[in-house]
């Protein structure tokens, strides 16, 4: 008896839809990418109830003939590639020929398209064509997808909340608009406009539309290339960061992709400029010969492999480090325009919940909010993108300016001044930075001096930790530790590097813990950084410690001589700046005739 049978095409498409169409955002992604490949310069996405009820994508692309409009819904039907050789030279976003068949299999689809003077209308219900008739003669395509997953109840049941679905769609539309600034994108949900770009080709204008004028002002333009890759785009100053990697946008040949190695390299380049658990906003556009990349890994086409990854990562690290190391990174306590990123969006449900800005990172700043020692106030500043761009170009990339201490607040904050305004220095963070760079330099010196201990330190460890340390004793010996085994699961330290001071036993234990914790993925540079960070914190001036004016001046001089005087090793700012104008605004002196 024959058991194996060929699947019905509709059933096969439903199964394939499980990978291609995961949620409403998947439908938007596939349809909008098709519109981009069709040469559209204007794309509008209209949603009803976050796309769960209806998704409509309207473009002004080249459209399709009647024959192509019907054939497009067949599985593995595509106009993007013709033979195997094309697969290795892809320049389009779509190419697999699975998306439309998969979407049509789990929804109701209406296609209106026109290539010449005669339009075509195609109606499909659950993968079956119900109608093919003449349509409007409007150039372009209108694709309407309604009642998604109506015939697959299990998938419908597991859709996320409307808030989550809308956030996911918005996020991807933001990234698409960054990858194609020359296209005019509009995203509307229940007649409320969420995103609108002008299609001028200016990425900074798109960044302003998505993140706001304040973030746009704090973006740095980057551009460089090597033999294989060309990179351009914008990265944020270290003071601008978010709680997730989601705002690190990587675009390869116009395609938004995900790559953990690239994200990790970007984040590592910001090391000690920001907190380790925070991530910058970046938009990097990578141009590369399509023959050395592979996007045919997953049906979503979001993952990508590079055949020359090392050279790409080196280039990315280089452009990020150079961009931020030549900037004055003292956060300015200025007045920020605080407008909602999105208008409140009411969903047509029984409970009529409302989506607000708490769904996104860029939250509305309320009046008189103090954040990280910076006072913000709501104001009305339209800040056109071209003005922002000029501000970025004119920014003076000076190092730490001359400043003069005038006092100490709470034994913690040094108040300084110069002709530009007032500076507040966190003495602990400043001393941490000075110590960190001193220890890093000394640890990298092969001729580093050592100090013999009058009373050797004996450290006992659990058996498993002892075995790991035993394999890595040479690391400590290279740092001028005289360390050797001493009995069962113990080591004895008779000599230590000269830069190590304080409670020697406690510091040695912490250094040994770092060796043990990093033994699987040991990297001498990261090890030195961890040790230097730990030591710099221990030797820094503690809060609530009063220091003399001479000590303040010495600390400021040391800070000005640091390679990065703006942040402690943990990424916290060392200095906050209030311009004279900001001080006048805080005290309501600006714009008034004040009697002096």
What secondary structure, in 3-state letters, does 534-565 show? HHHHHCCCCCCCCCCHHHHHHHHHHHHCCCCC
Q: Which CATH number is 152's domain given?
A: 3.30.565.10
CATH number of domain containing 228: 3.30.230.10
Is residue 152 located within the same domain as residue 208? no
In this structure, are 151 and 212 located in the same domain? Answer: no
* Phi and psi, residue 318, nearest 5°: -65, -45
Classify residue 267: in a domain, yes or no: yes
My answer on whether 128 and 242 are in the same domain is no
How does residue 91 score in pLDDT terms, banded at 50, 70 and 90? low
Contact predicate 345/190, CB 8 Å: yes
153 and 15, same structural domain?
yes
The larger pLDDT score, comparing residue 260 to residue 335, is at 260
Are 132 and 56 found together in one domain? yes
pLDDT grade for 500, boundaries at 50, 70 and 90: confident
Chain mean pLDDT for the chain = 79
| Domain boundary pick from 137, 159, 181 | 159
Higher-pLDDT residue of 143 and 138 is: 143
Share of the chain above pLDDT 70, in %: 77
| pLDDT band for position 82 (cuts 50, 70, 90) | low
Domain ranges, residue 526:
449-498+502-538
Are 135 and 13 found together in one domain?
A: yes
Is position 362 within any domain?
no
| Model pLDDT for residues 457-498, shown as the tens digit of each residue | 999 988 888 888 888 888 888 888 899 988 888 999 998 888
Residue 442 in any domain: the answer is: no
Same domain? For 119 and 217 the reply is no
Res 201 pLDDT > 80: yes
> CATH number of the domain that 517 lies in?
3.30.1370.100
Sheet holding 140-146, edge to edge: 128-135, 119-125, 108-114, 140-146, 54-59, 42-48, 184-189, 192-196
Crossing angle between the packed helical segments 385-394 and 203-211, to the nearest 10 degrees: 110
119-133, 220-234, 455-469, 494-508: the lowest-pLDDT one: 494-508
Digit-coded pLDDT (tens) for 391-418? 555 444 457 889 999 999 999 999 999 9
**Between the CA of residue 216 and those of 200, 254, 383, 386, what are the distances in Å?**
16, 21, 10, 11
The residue from 309, 325, 341 where one domain ends is 325
Confidence of residue 596 (pLDDT cuts 50, 70, 90): very low
In a domain, 562, yes or no: no
Residue 190 within any structural domain of the chain: no
> Who has greater pLDDT, 367 or 591?
591
Contact 284, 233 (CB under 8 A): yes
CB atoms closer than 10 angstroms to residue 239: 20
The answer to whether position 336 is within a domain reads: no
Q: Which residue has the higher pLDDT, 21 or 78?
A: 21
Residues 64, 116 share a domain: yes
Q: How confident is the model at residue 107 (pLDDT cuts 50, 70, 90)?
A: confident
273 shares a domain with 218: yes
- Which pLDDT score, from 0 to 100, does residue 302 have? 66
Mean pLDDT of 524-548: 82
| Proportion of the chain above pLDDT 90, given as a percent | 31
Q: In whole angstroms, give the CA distance from residue 491 to residue 320.
A: 42
Residue 430 reports pLDDT greater than 90: yes
Position 568 in a domain: no
pLDDT over threshold 80, residue 31 = yes
Amino acid 362: pLDDT: 39
Spatial CA neighbour of 256 closest among 225, 283, 279, 231: 283
- Domain count across the chain: 3
- Report the C-alpha gap between 48 and 595 in whole angstroms: 59
Residue 188: its pLDDT value, please?
94
Question: Are residue 236 and residue 108 in the same domain, yes or no?
Answer: no
**Domain annotation covers residue 360:** no
Both 150 and 208 in one domain: the answer is no
The residue from 96, 125, 159 where one domain ends is 159
Same domain, 254 and 140: no
Query: What is the reported pTM?
Result: 0.70
């Amino acid at each position: 008896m024959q058991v194996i049978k060929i699947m019905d095409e509709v059933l096969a498409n439903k199964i394939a839809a499980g990978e291609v169409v995961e949620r409403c955002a998947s439908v938007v992604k596939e349809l909008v990418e098709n519109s981009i490949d069709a040469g559209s310069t204007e794309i509008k996405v209209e949603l009803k109830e976050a796309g769960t009820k209806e998704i409509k994508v309207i473009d002004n692309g080249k459209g399709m003939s009647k024959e192509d409009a019907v054939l497009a819904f067949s599985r593995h039907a595509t106009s993007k590639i013709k033979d195997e050789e094309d697969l290795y030279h892809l320049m389009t976003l779509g190419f697999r020929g699975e998306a439309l068949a998969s979407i049509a299999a789990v929804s109701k689809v209406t296609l209106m398209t026109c290539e010449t003077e005669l339009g075509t209308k195609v109606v499909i219900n659950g993968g079956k064509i119900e109608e093919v008739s003449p349509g409007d003669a409007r150039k372009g395509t209108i694709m309407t997808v309604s009642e998604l997953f109506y015939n697959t109840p299990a998938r419908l049941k597991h859709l996320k909340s409307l808030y989550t679905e809308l956030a996911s769609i918005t996020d991807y539309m933001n990234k698409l608009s960054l990858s194609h600034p020359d296209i005019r994108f509009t995203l509307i949900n229940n007649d409320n406009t969420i995103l609108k770009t002008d299609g001028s080709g200016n990425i900074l204008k798109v960044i302003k539309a998505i993140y706001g004028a304040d973030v746009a002002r704090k973006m740095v333009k980057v551009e460089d290339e090597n033999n294989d890759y060309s990179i351009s785009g914008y990265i944020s100053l270290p003071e601008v960061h978010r709680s997730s990697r989601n705002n690190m946008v990587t675009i390869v040949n116009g395609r938004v992709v995900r790559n953990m190695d690239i994200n990790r390299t970007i984040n590592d380049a910001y090391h000690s400029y920001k907190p380790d658990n925070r991530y910058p906003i970046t938009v990097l556009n990578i141009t590369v010969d399509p023959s050395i990349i592979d996007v045919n890994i997953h049906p979503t086409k979001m993952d990508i492999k590079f055949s020359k990854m090392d050279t790409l990562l080196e280039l990315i690290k280089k452009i990020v480090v150079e961009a931020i190391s030549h900037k004055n990174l003292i956060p300015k306590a200025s007045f920020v325009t605080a407008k909602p990123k999105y208008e409140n969006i009411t969903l047509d449900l029984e409970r009529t919940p409302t989506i607000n800005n708490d769904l996104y990172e860029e939250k509305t700043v309320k009046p008189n909010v103090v954040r990280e020692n910076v006072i913000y106030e709501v104001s009305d500043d339209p800040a056109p993108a071209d003005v922002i761009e000029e501000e970025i170009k004119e920014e003076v990339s000076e190092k730490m300016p001359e400043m003069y201490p005038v006092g100490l607040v709470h034994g913690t904050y040094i108040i300084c001044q110069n002709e530009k305004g007032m500076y507040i220095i966190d003495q602990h963070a400043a001393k941490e930075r000075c110590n960190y760079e001193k220890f890093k330099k000394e640890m990298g010196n092969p001729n580093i001096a050592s100090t013999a201990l009058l009373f050797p330190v004996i450290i006992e460890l659990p058996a498993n930790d002892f075995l790991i340390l035993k394999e890595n004793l040479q690391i400590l010996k290279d740092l001028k530790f005289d360390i050797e085994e001493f009995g069962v699961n113990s080591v004895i330290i008779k000599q230590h590097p000269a830069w190590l001071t304080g409670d020697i036993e406690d510091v040695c234990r912490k250094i040994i813990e770092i060796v043990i914790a990093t033994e699987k993925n040991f990297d001498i540079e990261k090890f030195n950084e961890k040790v230097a960070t730990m030591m710099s914190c221990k030797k820094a001036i503690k809060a609530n410690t009063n220091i003399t004016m001479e000590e303040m001046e010495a600390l400021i001089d040391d800070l000005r001589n640091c390679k990065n005087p703006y942040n402690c090793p943990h990424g916290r700012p060392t200095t906050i700046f209030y311009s004279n104008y900001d001080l006048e605004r805080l005290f309501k002196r600006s714009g008034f005739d004040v009697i002096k």
